[in-house]
Amino acid sequence: MQQQCFPATRETLNTRVTEPTRSVEQHDVASPAARRSIYLLGNPDKAEVPEALATLRALAEGQATIVGADLAIDGGPAVAAGADRLAVVGGDGTLIGVARSLGARQLPLIGINMGKLGFLTEFSVEDIRACLTQALQDDDLIDRRTLLEAAVDQDGQVRSRTVAVNDCVVQAGPPYRMVRLGIAINGEHFTEIRGDGIIVCTPSGSTAHNLSAGGPIMQAGVDAIILTPMNPHSLTHRPLVIERSAVIDVHADVVNEGTTVIIDGQVSSPLHPGDRVTIRRFDSDLLLVRNPLYARWYKLVTKMHWGQAPTLK
């Protein structure tokens, strides 16, 4: 039976609900008569994506102006086409790659999950059948999420500058000896970490590498940045949550030949002795269209089983 998208009463996290929330900026819900434009992107490396993209196109034809469609990860053509929404068919990694390609020209992203957990790609194909009109028209569904910018400085020259959706990780790498990293916040020396590296992540990225390393889970709309040491050679270094406006400098005091800066698990850059990685909030926010069929914590509870008691057999 096809789902219907309509306001419902607040229920438990294990059920579908519509939970209206106030976005960072208030938007008027567009009139149904105002036809929105949409650009469709799909991961070219997933075999099931072309069929899902064709289904999405058929659904969108009667509800929006389709200004382009492609099997690609580059969102630039959608910006050039003036799209009101950018639908991304793939997994979380696909959406992250598309968001990074947009840079400062972020568009509201509708993520259709063809991957595994789907924390960022909140819609299934069936969800889109039920809620495409609302996803296109209701601007109150657009969540603003912090992005980071990571710049690697070598000998006073910026060697690379990358937008991060989830995290920036400095990882020890081969030959896997302990590294020593100097940490400064807002230009003031803060601490020195000896261990396997450090994770600097957004609230959106708190459920990724950060969670595996023992860092805190944060609600996506929180204005903060998380610093999580990786296997520190100290009992006193613990994950830290700092304000979103902070500028974090990670100085490579002692590193390995394979020590690497990794952005979102997708983009990497070698880190040499004396290099500095400067991480700060990016000027633009990620714009993510929320699935109105689910409560905000639905996937954390149902897919990652957060807070559930052990099963006794």
Cite the active site residues.
92
Backbone φ/ψ region at 123: left (φ over 0), alpha (ψ -120 to 50), beta:
beta
| 3-class DSSP state of 140 | helix
Q: Who contacts 178 (Cβ-Cβ below 8 Å, separation ≥6)? A: 172, 194, 195, 196, 233
By C-alpha distance, which of 136, 95, 130 is closest to 112?
A: 95
Token pair in block for residue 243:
């304000």
CA distance linking residue 284 with residue 88, whole number of Å: 19
CA distance linking residue 67 with residue 50, whole number of Å: 18
Instruction: Report yes or no: 65 and 37 within 8 Å, Cβ to Cβ.
Output: yes
By C-alpha distance, which of 124, 131, 99, 110 is closest to 48?
A: 124
CA atoms within 13 A on the CB side of 192: 8
CA distance linking residue 39 with residue 50, whole number of Å: 15
What is the greatest pairwise CA distance in the chain?
A: 62
